[in-house]
Every structure is written in C-alpha cells, then in structure tokens.
A and B are shown apart, each in its own frame.
Chain A
Amino acid sequence: MGEDKKEKRYKTGLLRSLWPYNFNAERYSYTLHRITGVILALYLIAHVFEIYHFALGPVAWEQTIALLGSLGIWEKIGLWIIAGSALYHGANGLRLILNEVFGMLLGKPVLPEYPYTPTSLSRNQKIAIYVILAIVIALWIWAGLYLLEGLGII
C-alpha cells in the first residue's frame, strides 16, 4: 500500500473529504460531526486553561472573564457556536453509537432489489438524523436566546 504521500491523486484531500455536495445526508452529518469535533477539541484545550485561572483566585478569574468579555458580541457568538457543536456532536454521536456498537438503524442483510436503496441509509436512519437535527436546532435557538439575553439585547 502506498506509503508515499506525494503520489498525485485525482480530487482528493481534506477539503474534498469535507465537501459532501451531491451526496447523501449521512455524509453531510459526517462533515458536521468532524468539524464540530475539532471545534470542541480546540475549545476544550482553551477551556481547561481558562478554568485553571479559577484556581488562581477570584481576581485572576474576574480578569479572565473581563478579558473574554472585551470580545463583546464575538464571545457570545463563539460560545453559541460551541454550544451548538456540543449539542450536535453529542446527539449525532449517540446515533453513531447505535449504528457502530449495536448495529441498529441499519436494517438486516437483504437481497438487494433494484433500484438499490441501501437499508443502512433508509428510513430509520433518515428519521434518526432528522429527529436529531430538530432537537439540536431547537435547543440551539434556546441557547442562543439565552446568550443574547445575557448581552442585554433582548
């Protein structure tokens, strides 16, 4: 197997991998899952250091909060994105656990019937995806309103 990374391949790479256009809903959710995952991991690193300031005492903590507060609306938007990421990543992750660990929502092996509609991408899976999206969006709007409320806009 080609260990050589420099081999030229056609239309390949990170952006292609994350570009689900023309494909199925699961591939969109794959892209979202991966992007939200990376956002959360990076936020986690920052968040641990942010909380570390808490251990340094009330003054350091107030300073940190003030520093973040100086970002103004961007802090809230950032937190809103992170809240959304956490909600989506968690909910979609639960679906993936059902799929991967328990083999659920996939259907059984069947004799394929033309026109082929793979059972793993069929009704149950689609319902799960849309239910997840509905819940996540509802909670995300709620979180957004809360964050904006804190800013005194609403």
Chain B
Amino acid sequence: MRKDIGMETLDYDVAIVGSGLAGLRTAIEVLRRDKGKLGLKVAVISKIYLMRSHSVSAEGGTSAVLYPEEGDSFELMAWDTIKGSDFLADQDAVWRFVHIATQEIRLIERWGVPWNRREDGRIEQRWFGGLSFPRATYAQDKTGFFEMRALYDTLLKYDNWDRFDENFVTSIVIENNEFKGFTAIDLKTGNFRYFRAKAGVIATGGAGQLYRITSMAVSSTGDGYGLAYNAGLPLKDMEFVQFHPTGLVPRGILITEAARGEGAYLINKDGERFMQKYAPSKMELAPRDIVSRAIMKEIMEGKGIYDEKSGLYHVWLDMRHLGKERIEQKLPFIREIGLKYLGIDIVDQPLPIRPTVHYNMGGIHVDIDGKVLDSTGTPVKGLWAAGEAACVSIQGSNRLGSNGTNECLVYGYIVGNDIYNYIEKERPALPSPSQNILTTEEDRIFGKLLGKESGGEDVYEIRDELKDTMEKYVHVYRTGSDLEKAVVKIRELKERYKNIRLTDKSRVFNYNLEHALELGNMLELAEIIARGALLRTESRGAHARLDYPNRDDTNWLKHTIALKGADGPLFSYIPVKITMWKPVARVY
C-alpha cells in the first residue's frame, strides 16, 4: 500500500464526469467531430466502472418521432412533453430536443442497438405514459442497457481518450467564473488527482439514494448536484422528484412503464381498475405523477394491500392477460425480476407495486446548449452539464416516461458539439488555478475528514435517518407541516454530519470515505428539496401539496433557483420560456 500522499495532475482537453448515457454520448461526439483534427484528449471519469452506470437500468423506451407518415409529428411530441411537464418546461428547449431525438435514435441504431423490429425490418415503437402516439422506441425492456452497450462499444473504437474508472470527483475548480478542472480521489490507490481540462462536463445523473425506496442505483447519490452547488453554482427546480408509479415492493426495483404500455392493469384491493377515476381517457397510461398520486390515494383510502414482510402497502400490477409469448418478447426482464426477487411469475400472478423514487427533474442550471450558468445567468466558461444532472429544462415538473434516455442522448450530442466548437474557435489554453484551492481541497478530504480522530457520529446511521426522513415527509404527497419537520430534521443531521468519524483509515478502496463525501452532498440536496418544496405553495407535476392542491400559474409558473448561502440554500425564481403553448388545464 502506498503511504505517500502525492497529488497527480492530469492534463486533458475535455474532462467528463459521469459515464452514463450522457457522459458517453458527449465523449463520442467530441471524438467523432474531432477525427484527429485537433487531437483532443478526452478523460471519462467515473466513480464506478464504465458500463456500471445507472443508465443500464433504464427499461422502457426512448421517445422519438420516426414515422411522421403514420401520424406522428414533432409538434405532437413537443406538446406531449410540455403538457406532461405541467407547462414548466422551457418550450424552446423542448422544440429543439424533439428534432434531435429522431437523429439520435437512428445514429445509435447504426452503432449496434438491437431495437425491436417490425416484420419488414424497420424500428418498432410502442405506447408509453402520456404519449398521444406510440413513439417509445424500445429494445425489449432493457432499452437503456442496450443503448449503453452500443455507446460504450462505439467509444472503444476511438483511441484518443482515457478512462478513469473508480475516480470519485470531489470538487469542481472554478475561479473567476472560469472552469479549471476537477479534483478527484483515485479509489484504487487513494491518491488525490487534479484533472486539468479546458472543458468540463458534469453528467453524473440523479440523486435517488436520498430515499429509502428507490429504483435508482446505490451510485446515484447526486454527486454532480453537490459538486455544482458547493462550487457556488445554482441548482434549478430541485423540489420536483419523480416517483415512478410501479416500483416492486419492497425494494423499489423498477417495473417499467412499458408494462402498462403493453396493456397491464393497475388493480386495488377490491379488484377495481382504479385509474378510471383519475384519468378516464388515458387510464394506466397517464403520466407518471398522476398514476403515482392515484396509487398513493388508493393506499391512503385503505384500498391498498398490506405486505406483511415489509410492512408496506401496495397495489397490484396485473399482466396476466398479456399472455406468455408477448411477455417473453417484450418484457422478459420484468418477468426475470419478478421471479428473481419475489418468486412471482407475471404470466400468472400480479406484481405488488408502489411508487418509487425514479428521477430528478431538477438539476444544474444550464442554458439551451447545456452550458452551466452561474447565479447571474451568465455561462461559466468551459463548463457544461448534460443528462439528468442538468436541468435545461425539458422535463419541467414531471418527466414523461421514455423522455429520459433521449434527453441524455440529445444533450450528449449538443454538448459534445458545443465543446468542440468552443475549443476549435477559442483555442483556450490549459488553465492554471492557484495552488491554494487544490491543497485546501486535499486537506478537506484527507486531513479534516479521513484524518479526523474526534467525533463519534456514524456515516451510515446519519444516512439511514436521512432516508427515513425523506421517505416519510417529502414523498408523493407533501404538506407544509411535514416539510417543516423534514427541514428541521435535515438541519439536525447536517449538524451531526460535522461530527462524523471514519472507522476505515486506509487509502485503498476506502468506501467509508466515499460514502461520507456522498452523504455530505446528499444532506445539502435534501435540504434544497425540502425547503424548495416548502416554499412552492402549489401543486404542479410531481410536486403535490395536500394543503395547496391546485396549480397556481399566476404566482408559480417559474423555475426555482437554489444557491448556496452561508446558512443553507438561498432561493430565487426565474421565468419559464413559453414560446408555443400557453398553459391549459392538464386533463388526461
């Protein structure tokens, strides 16, 4: 084991944090545009191995307009997205997004995605929640996985990039509104690293781990949000946390919306298809927030089924009428999950499901090109964000199913192009930050956190309490009093966090240290979410207040912006860009 503590400096043109769909797509786009012309060197930094990112768990599909001749159109997709977002989406961004999505689907088809096909060999599409045309392009029910496979494999084709697996990024170095690199810990050796780069991309995904029951991976702890927030950059719309209606009880493993797209029913204790009360025309295929609220309402009204093992209430997702052949062709992974984790075969038994945390609509405040904006709304020179980590905002207050993977692809493409144009045009030099920043950061991690001998708080205890707090008070339905309780609890946990002590003092693969750093970010995020939700006195999309049950377009048709203050987040608001459609009542 290496005892010496040294700082490595690694020079790259582009440093990408996060290796999910958005990160890989950005890397490919930069290298693809470049083709050795500028000889750009790209670093892909990930806290886990490449191909282990949570994008592999995306199941259902990827929306895109492929068949305008059959009645689909860009207007229709944009309308669906905007209506689904409860009119909080920036409509210029949506308009751009729907156009690029089509091209992305075809591009990754050529890179090897085994899309499900029609009999004549063309790409097949299916229904998804909130769509008015079956435009979710899919590869069985492992769409995200196959997309990741294709992107990862295609990236391997290029030479001019290096992978930094298991490098945990601890901070963004920003001086004078200019990006100067990332600092990271190499988990394998425990060394401190400084990635000096002309351009940086944050594509770290979401923060589902704030909750107990979540479909997100253990690695989705919102590090990107924390990095930006701690660097003094604003976060947008963080109070909108999407609950996927169908998470498997008790873990919250995702049962894809495609199950309902293929025709599955939601059934309560009395055997009733209760969605007809909530969305009579779309039924089970209403957008996710509506279905989640419907399920929670059923459970609150005592029409849920009690599961003795986990102590949770749930409803049934019934796929028995689909038939074995259709399930094997289109939903094999769902069947596998049911058999594997509950011993339930969906061919002849319904699955117990309840809402599970699935997606963060909010994220780092970026403009329509993916450039990260600072508190005054001017772009930070040389810093981009893409995918779930960024908030453009296309998803508004509620993401439509099948719009997540294509946001990653589209913004990977846009950001990659933008970076290439930036470097080609401006030819920036490698930045040189003051040494002070780096040594302070190194000391924060290794001196003040790893080397600390005082204090007795345990990382995992605080994390458990945080998860329970969020699960209890900041769930599908929120009330002012619950949110206040949550804020108080989170502030208490933040105080306790200052007192933590790590048991593992080694440098190599010190997961204890990684979890402590993650927890620091998670506590900040939890506070932003809870306080942002407390301030927003309306119900919009995924944010549903029992004490303010209606949408309030006069006061709240605006994005929340959270900035780090001396004592917790400071909130301000910016308007929504409405270019095409004025908000109307959202009925399905």
A and B touch in their complex, CB below 8 angstroms: yes
Chain B contacts with A in 306-345, Cβ cutoff 8 A: 328-329, 332, 335-336, 339-340
Cα distance A112–B328 in the bound complex, in angstroms: 9
Q: Is A4 an interface residue (CB 8 A)?
A: no
Residues of B within 8 A of A112 (CB): 332
Determine how close the nearest CB of chain B comes to the CB of A106; give it in whole angstroms: 21
- Closest A residue to B336 by beta carbon equals A114
Cα distance A114–B341 in the bound complex, in angstroms: 12
Residues of A within 8 A of B340 (CB): 114
Determine how close the nearest CB of chain A comes to the CB of B396; give it in whole angstroms: 37
Cα distance A114–B140 in the bound complex, in angstroms: 14
- Closest B residue to A115 by beta carbon equals B339
- Closest B residue to A116 by beta carbon equals B336
Give 1 or 0 for each of A93-115: 1 = CB within 8 Å of chain B CB. 00000000000000000011111
Determine how close the nearest CB of chain A comes to the CB of B87; give it in whole angstroms: 41
- Closest B residue to A113 by beta carbon equals B328
Q: Looking at A111, A112, A114, A115, which has the most chain B CB atoms within 10 Å of its CB?
A: A114
In the complex, the answer to whether A114 meets B335 with C-beta atoms within 8 Å is yes
Residues of B within 8 A of A113 (CB): 328, 332
Cα distance A111–B335 in the bound complex, in angstroms: 13
Cα distance A111–B139 in the bound complex, in angstroms: 12
Determine how close the nearest CB of chain A comes to the CB of B277; give it in whole angstroms: 35
In the complex, the answer to whether A111 meets B339 with C-beta atoms within 8 Å is no
Cα distance A114–B336 in the bound complex, in angstroms: 5
Give 1 or 0 for each of B436-468: 1 = CB within 8 Å of chain A CB. 000000000000000000000000000000000
- Closest A residue to B140 by beta carbon equals A111
Residues of A within 8 A of B335 (CB): 114
Cα distance A115–B343 in the bound complex, in angstroms: 11
Determine how close the nearest CB of chain A comes to the CB of B417; give it in whole angstroms: 36
Cα distance A111–B142 in the bound complex, in angstroms: 13
Determine how close the nearest CB of chain A comes to the CB of B380; give it in whole angstroms: 41
Give 1 or 0 for each of A118-139: 1 = CB within 8 Å of chain B CB. 0000000000000000000000
In the complex, the answer to whether A114 meets B329 with C-beta atoms within 8 Å is no
Cα distance A87–B328 in the bound complex, in angstroms: 43
Residues of B within 8 A of A115 (CB): 339
- Closest A residue to B324 by beta carbon equals A113
Cα distance A113–B340 in the bound complex, in angstroms: 12
Residues of A within 8 A of B339 (CB): 114-115
Residues of B within 8 A of A111 (CB): 140, 328-329, 332
Residues of A within 8 A of B332 (CB): 111-114
Residues of A within 8 A of B328 (CB): 111, 113
Chain B contacts with A in 405-425, Cβ cutoff 8 A: none
Determine how close the nearest CB of chain B comes to the CB of A114; give it in whole angstroms: 4
- Closest B residue to A114 by beta carbon equals B336
Determine how close the nearest CB of chain A comes to the CB of B298; give it in whole angstroms: 30
- Closest A residue to B340 by beta carbon equals A114
Residues of A within 8 A of B140 (CB): 111
Chain B contacts with A in 336-367, Cβ cutoff 8 A: 336, 339-340
Residues of A within 8 A of B336 (CB): 114
Cα distance A112–B339 in the bound complex, in angstroms: 14
Determine how close the nearest CB of chain A comes to the CB of B493; give it in whole angstroms: 40
Determine how close the nearest CB of chain A comes to the CB of B100; give it in whole angstroms: 31
Cα distance A111–B339 in the bound complex, in angstroms: 17
Cα distance A45–B335 in the bound complex, in angstroms: 56
Determine how close the nearest CB of chain B comes to the CB of A108; give it in whole angstroms: 15
Cα distance A115–B328 in the bound complex, in angstroms: 12
Cα distance A113–B339 in the bound complex, in angstroms: 11
Determine how close the nearest CB of chain B comes to the CB of A44; give it in whole angstroms: 45
Residues of A within 8 A of B329 (CB): 111
Cα distance A115–B140 in the bound complex, in angstroms: 17
Cα distance A113–B140 in the bound complex, in angstroms: 12
Task: Pick the 7 closest A-B CB pairs, nearest first.
Answer: A114-B336, A114-B339, A114-B335, A113-B328, A111-B332, A111-B328, A113-B332
New A-B pairs, 11, CB < 8 Å, besides A111-B140, A111-B332: A111-B328, A111-B329, A112-B332, A113-B328, A113-B332, A114-B332, A114-B335, A114-B336, A114-B339, A114-B340, A115-B339
- 7 examples of A-B residue contacts, CB within 8 angstroms: A111-B140, A111-B332, A113-B328, A113-B332, A114-B335, A114-B339, A114-B340
